[in-house]
Structure 1
Amino acid sequence: MKKLLIICSVLATALTFAQDKDKEREKQLTLRTATNFIYEANELTEADNFISAEKEYRKAISKAPSVVAGSYNLGNSYYEKGNYEEALYRHAQAAENATSKVDKHKAYHNIGNILMKKELCQEAVEAFKNALRNDPTDDETRYNLVVAKECAAQQENKKEKEEEKKDEDKEDENKDEEKKEDEKKDDPEDKGDQDKKEGNDEKNEDGKPKDEKDQGKGDKKDDKQKGKPKPKPGQLSPQQIKNLLEAMNNQEQKVQEKINAEKQKGVKVKPEKDW
């Protein structure tokens, strides 16, 4: 029984070893196939046959993404053609799949160069920093980092000036609006229209303007005066007659007093001359 168990254990180990060996053989075959695609693509690139080279690079990336040469070389081809969006994507893919610091350094260095072409200077600074983390001895990367920092500073200053100008323009616009409002308030025509409007708004309870009501009062007063009898030409008014009667009574009283005084003296009084 023990011998049977030992034999089964040996067979299982041999089977596992064979499976691992098959997987390794398959892996190596995949890597070899991807490498062949890359070689073919490189030759097509040198022959200036970009379309065919692009197809071969894509085959290599699809077959074995871990072979960063496919993404890296395809990114360089896009960069030379001025297609910076695709170049950035492929180099980012290479940086992600790279397992060695050498490959990561190259990918990040090229990412920094692409970002500089796109005028994304602050992002380029970060890319060059990542490249130097993987290879601090690369003087070219260090120089590019300095250039990227200067570019980022200039862009920041430009942005601040644009913001300041924008704020100034907005302030000037607000001042212009305030000036227009002040001019509108000081405009005689507008003021006259406002006074006219206010005058029209001043009405009595019956809905008529106060002036009309006052005028109505004046009309009523005139009508009342018109209702009084006016003296005809050659006739005295009642008031004049009253004044005249009072004057006559006064005169008569004076005459009577004079007569009485003469009687007391015994002197005859000469009659008044008729008019």
Structure 2
Amino acid sequence: MKLLQNLLIICLMLLSSSTALAQKDSIALQRKARKMVRQGNELYQQKKYADASVSYRKALDKSSYYDKASYNLGNALYESKNFKEAAPQFELSAKTATDKSTKAEAYHNLGNSLMETKNYQGAVDAFKNSLRNNPNDDETRYNLAVAKDKLKKEKQKNKDDKNKDNKDKKDKDNKNKDKEKDKKEGDDDKKKKEGDDDKEKKDEKDKDKDGKGDKEQDKKQDPKKDDKKDQKQKPKPQQGKMSPQQIKQLLESLNNEEKKTQKKMNAKKAKGKKVKQEKDW
């Protein structure tokens, strides 16, 4: 029993010793954090906002819930126009702040950062929280009115854009429907035309077939008919028809023959006639 009591006393002593050391380390870290904040403030006054941001981050590394370090870091980032990184620092400071004045200022600066990033709904909420902690801040009230106006215009613009998108989509759908309708009608007309052409070709083919069949049938019934027709169409030679030159040559030939015949007859006649001789008196 006595041994157990001694062990319990030793444990309590060790626990108290570790707690004292932790508290000592915590106090040392807090001192270092405050020192880094002071350095950051000096750099901030010199408008060396980037260097000031480094000092404030070091202070937060020593004490992560040091609200002054987070608030001042937010201000340095805001002055550097790094609004997206500034907003969460002001939000952290507003949550960790113990007095309403600090909360109001943190929410006010948070609203300004969100306004710069065009997060108007978030800015409206931040300015409202700032006024809850400090209702008499006219600057915050004015910023809230501006944020509400921008939010209203943004919603109206989004509504108009949505209506425009819906209208464009509807017009596009109607246009596509018209195209499909025109295409369908064109395809139907094409099919109809092709059907008419096929029908016309078929009719012509049947007609040619029927005509050829009739001709062959007629020829089969009267085979001499086509032969007579062919003979009529074939030119016949004209008998006894002579050219003027041939007639002239023929007449000359007949005339010559007639002269020869007459000459022979005169010769024969002269030969049989007595010759009258003249007496020499």
What TM-score do you get using the length of structure 1 for normalisation?
0.67
Which amino acid in structure 2 is aligned with residue 26 of structure 1? Answer: D
Correspondence 1:1-275 to 2 at 5 A: 17-180=16-179, 193-199=190-196, 209=202, 211-229=204-222
AA matched with 2:222? P
Deviation, 1:209, is 3.8
Q: Is the 8 A contact 1:72 1:91 kept in 2?
A: yes
Single out whichever of 7-16 and 126-135 deviates more from structure 2.
Answer: 7-16
C-alpha distance 209-119 of structure 1, shift in aligned 2 (>3 A): same
Give the conservation status (yes or no) of the 8 Å contact 2:49–2:77: no
Name stretches of at least 5 consecutive residues in structure 1 with no aligned partner.
236-275
In the TM superposition, residue 37 of structure 1 has moved relative to its aligned partner by 0.1
Question: In the alignment, is the contact (CA less than 8 A) between 2:120 and 2:150 conserved in 1?
Answer: yes
Contact 1:112 1:125 in 2 (8 A): yes
TM-score by length of 2: 0.65
Q: 1:194 to 1:110 in 2, by over 3 A?
A: same
Shift of 1:45: 1.8
Task: Show structure 2 runs of 5+ residues with no match.
Answer: 229-281
3-state SS in 1 of match to 2:118: coil
Q: Contact between 2:50 and 2:80, CA under 8 Å: does it hold in 1?
A: no
CA contact 2:219–2:225 (8 Å) conserved in 1: no
RMSD: 3.7
Deviations 1:55-94 (A, max 9, x none): 2111101110111111211111111121111112322333
Larger CA Rg, structure 1 vs 2: 2
Q: Is the 8 A contact 2:37 2:56 kept in 1?
A: yes
Cα distance in 2 for residues equivalent to 1:67 and 1:37:
11
Assess, with a 3 A threshold, how the Cα gap between structure 1 residues 162 and 107 changes in structure 2: closer, same or farther: same
Deviation of 1:40 (Å): 0.3
> Does the 8 A contact of 1:66 with 1:98 survive in 2?
no
1:196-240 deviation digits (Å, cap 9, x = unpaired) = 32235659xxxx94542453233223321222216669x9xxxxx
Taking only the aligned residue pairs, the percentage that are identical comes to: 34
Matches of 2:21 and 2:169, distance apart in 1: 73
